Amino acid sequence: MPQLTPEQRATFFEGLLKQRPMPFEKIKKTCFAEGVPDCSATPRLRAIAWKLLLGYLPEDRMQWHTFLAMQRLSYQAFFEELNVDLRFEIKKDVDRTLPDYAFYNTSHREGRVHHAAISRILFVYAKLNPGIRYVQGMNEILAPIYYVFCQEIEAAAADASGASLKSLGEDSIMPTALEEALKAVEADAFFCFTNLMAELRDHFCSKLDHTVIGITAKITALERLIERLDQQLSTTLTRLRVSPTFYGFRWITLLMTQEWELPDVLRFFDSLFADPRRDETKSNFLIYFAATMVRPRARSS
């Protein structure tokens, strides 16, 4: 079978999304193996795919409009009840989020708007999850999700020659349509982040660190996998006293977001979210991926 161009892949992917019933398993396998098609339609397709893969959107496309409207109203209600004293606990980390990207650079209006949005999302999450609250690093996991959903509305604005944050001056009044679109993005990002954190929250709970579901167990699993895949490498790391905690803790808790540039993180998230065994194995794909990160680096040194 001839290899499809990115545009042809996008057409195929679009066709999957329009089918009724939606072939969700086929969509997952496509995203896992190939990622979301890399073309002009990527912002919209990736946003839809992630909302599906993270269990936010229902598989019945006919329900999307009503469902999204209800969820976005719910988010606004959550925020109105928020205790703003949480702001100072979160602001320091948010200010360090992807500063090299204009999208999050607070020297520009665009960056300040996006920083405020991810701060609010983390505030609401902390308020609704008092057992975990906010832990350093959550901002790094949220940032790519929020970015992807914003790219969808940026692309739509460009197609319609409408206003976008990039085109607004520092003192320009934000159009109502753009303001509402950004509110929708914020709500969608919150719910997708919440769904993802339902799988990851044990990594951020220090009380669970040394239990079978805590981060220490994941790091031990990584160490054992390296030993099984490459005994020589494992022996060398042990001899040099290179504990997997040194690298594995950050890789696993932050989902590799600190290891690569943002475009590569987005591609990795395509596969991570679409892992067909994610629900049953609690992200073993991440452990295997981390093990492959160690082996090439060791071999090239």
pLDDT at 1: 43
Integer Cα distance of 37 and 24 in angstroms: 16
pLDDT at 146: 97
Stretches where the chain sits below pLDDT 50 are 1, 298, 300-301
Integer Cα distance of 198 and 68 in angstroms: 20
> Amino acid identity, residue 13?
F
pLDDT at 89: 76
Q: Report, in angstroms and rounded to the nearest whole number, the Rg of the chain calculated over CA atoms.
A: 20
Beta-carbon-side half-sphere exposure of residue 255 (alpha carbons within 13 Å)? 29
Cα 301 from chain centroid (whole Å): 31
pLDDT at 214: 77
pTM: 0.88
pLDDT at 99: 86
Six token digits for residue 149: 């959903």
pLDDT at 125: 93
- CA distances in angstroms from 64 to 45, 69, 100, 167, listed in the order given: 15, 8, 35, 29
Beta-carbon contacts of 56 under 8 Å, excluding residues fewer than 6 positions away, are: 71, 188, 191, 192, 195
Six token digits for residue 251: 């890789």
Integer Cα distance of 143 and 269 in angstroms: 12
pLDDT at 225: 92
